[in-house]
Amino acid sequence: MPKMKTVKAIKARFRVTAAGKLKRGRPGKRHILTKKSSKKKRYLSSAAYVNESHLDRYSVLIGV
């Protein structure tokens, strides 16, 4: 059976941490920022981790 190719869209959106978790950015910080509060924009700038229920699926796609 051939090797599975990495899905480049997943590779661009997630980074693998030393613990094996997937780190991601938060959506919603690209445009229409004038109506969002400074507190909301600071929160959107922080990183988040992929939920455990999705971790197996994304790990296979990223090739971990």
| Residue 18: CATH number of its domain | 4.10.410
14 found inside a domain: yes
Q: Residue 25 gets which letter from DSSP?
A: P
What is the extent of the structural domain holding 13?
A: 8-26+33-62
**How do residues 9-22 score in pLDDT, each as one tens digit?**
999 999 999 999 99
pLDDT recorded at residue 29: 96
**How do residues 16-58 score in pLDDT, each as one tens digit?**
999 999 999 999 999 999 999 999 999 999 999 999 999 999 9
Number of domains making up the chain: 1
Handedness of CA 62, 29, 17, 54 (dihedral sign): negative
